[in-house]
């Protein structure tokens, strides 16, 4: 078995900037290079504890020549810790970990299918191999309070629906797993953010009672890479 942290996403060269405001869910304004720039925010989460006026952030040039905005915000700081804010990165990171065989909880599968249709929606992955196939949903976590990683940071009907659908998949005989990827390394445990989204908290607890496996893992984050770290306890 390879070491867990071999699964990593190498980041483009990052430059430090100062966050000024959020124009909308996906556009932020930063101070950079002596002026103001608009930058893509690659997440619909609120992230008010990360993206506030004066917050240090790290930006990279747009990933495609035809992008409307010249920069994208990929990282922020919170309590001295680097936090990846790209909500799509955990999916890429988990895919790499699955392909490299460095997720012991999900080993033994021989085929990885992405964006797997189920009912009227989709899960991030469907894993095939010996035994029942496995539906896997990956969730990005950036909020940590008092050492506890929390999801979601704003009410998420989509997230609650995914928990219901995972429970249904489990009842239909599939293996069903939700993996919360904490995009920072200062959490000691994971819990649903039931205070911020009680509906999601209830649905996650019901899914767990139905046999859905609830996993959470840290990330090791620096200015060069985001690597998948070790598991943390899940407290429902």
18 vs 65, more confident: 18
CA distances from 236 to 27, 156, 216 (A): 34, 17, 12
Domain topology for 89-231: Trna Endonuclease; Chain: A, domain 1 (3.40.1350)
Considering all CA atoms of the chain, what is the largest pairwise distance in Å, rounded to the nearest integer? 58
| For residues 196-218, average pLDDT | 98
**Which CATH number fits the domain 12-79, given the four candidates 2.40.50.580, 2.30.130.10, 1.10.760.10, 3.30.565.10?**
2.40.50.580
Interacting residues of 123 by C-beta distance below 8 A, sequence separation 6+: 116, 135, 136, 137, 162, 165, 166, 169
| For residues 69-95, average pLDDT | 96
| For residues 98-114, average pLDDT | 94
How far separated are the first and last CA of the chain, in Å rounded?
A: 30
Label residue 120 by pLDDT band (50, 70, 90): confident
Q: What residues does each domain of the chain span?
A: 12-79, 89-231
Label residue 1 by pLDDT band (50, 70, 90): very low
Domain 12-79 and domain 89-231, same fold? Reply is: no
Interacting residues of 133 by C-beta distance below 8 A, sequence separation 6+: 126, 127, 174, 175
pTM: 0.95
Rounded to whole angstroms, how far apart are CA atoms 42 and 63?
A: 12
CA distances from 18 to 38, 44, 45, 70, 223 (A): 12, 20, 19, 16, 16
């Amino acid at each position: 078995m390879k070491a867990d942290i071999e699964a990593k996403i190498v980041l483009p060269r990052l430059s430090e900037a100062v966050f000024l405001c959020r124009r909308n869910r996906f556009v932020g304004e930063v101070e950079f290079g002596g002026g103001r720039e608009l930058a893509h925010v690659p997440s619909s989460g609120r992230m008010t504890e990360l993206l506030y006026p004066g917050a240090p952030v790290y930006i990279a040039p747009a990933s495609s020549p035809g992008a409307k905005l010249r920069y994208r915000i990929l990282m922020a700081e919170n309590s001295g810790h680097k936090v990846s804010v790209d909500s799509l990165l955990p999916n890429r990171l988990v895919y790499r970990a699955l392909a490299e065989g460095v997720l012991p909880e999900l080993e033994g599968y021989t085929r990885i299918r992405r964006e797997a249709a189920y009912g009227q929606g989709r899960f991030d992955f469907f894993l095939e191999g010996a035994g029942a196939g496995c539906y896997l949903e990956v969730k990005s976590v950036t909020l940590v309070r008092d050492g506890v990683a929390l999801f979601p940071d704003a009410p998420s009907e989509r997230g609650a629906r995914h928990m219901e659908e995972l429970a249904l998949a489990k009842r239909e005989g599939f293996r069903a797993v939700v993996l919360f990827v904490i995009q920072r390394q200062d959490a000691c445990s994971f819990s649903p953010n039931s205070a911020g989204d009680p509906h999601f908290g209830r649905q996650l607890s019901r899914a767990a009672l139905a046999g859905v496996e609830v996993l959470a893992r840290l990330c090791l984050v620096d200015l060069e890479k985001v690597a998948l770290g070790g598991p943390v306890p899940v407290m429902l």
